[in-house]
Amino acid sequence: MTQLILEMPESAFAGLHQAPKEFAQEMRIAAAVKWYELGRLSQGRAAEIAGLTRAKFIDALSRYQVSPFQYTAEELEEELRDAH
């Protein structure tokens, strides 16, 4: 596993009321959620980056108000047509 070192102002931790370790974990989750939302990562890969199981990643998506379903309206219509 690769380790990254980030310099953060002390106020960042106080603003979220988190210790540095908790803050780092929340950053991983937030980044993975956003990249998933943008369609840059699959759900499984995003969960891995976040350091979560897939089920816990889906819970995180809910906390961030991001749908676990990444379909366009056209893709959804096609899926529904094919189901009949």
Number of domains within the chain: 1
| Residue 56: predicted pLDDT | 98
| Residue 68: predicted pLDDT | 93
Identify the domain containing residue 52 by its residue range.
Answer: 19-83
On whether residue 12 sits in a domain, the answer given is no
On whether residue 44 sits in a domain, the answer given is yes
Q: What is the pLDDT of residues 27-78, one digit of tens each?
A: 999 999 999 999 999 999 999 999 999 999 999 999 999 999 887 778 778 8
On whether residue 28 sits in a domain, the answer given is yes
On whether residue 79 sits in a domain, the answer given is yes
On whether residue 11 sits in a domain, the answer given is no
pTM: 0.81
Q: What is the pLDDT of residues 10-32, one digit of tens each?
A: 888 888 888 999 999 999 999 99
Pairwise CA distance, residues 34 & 75, whole Å: 21
| Residue 70: predicted pLDDT | 83
Tokens of 44: 């499984």
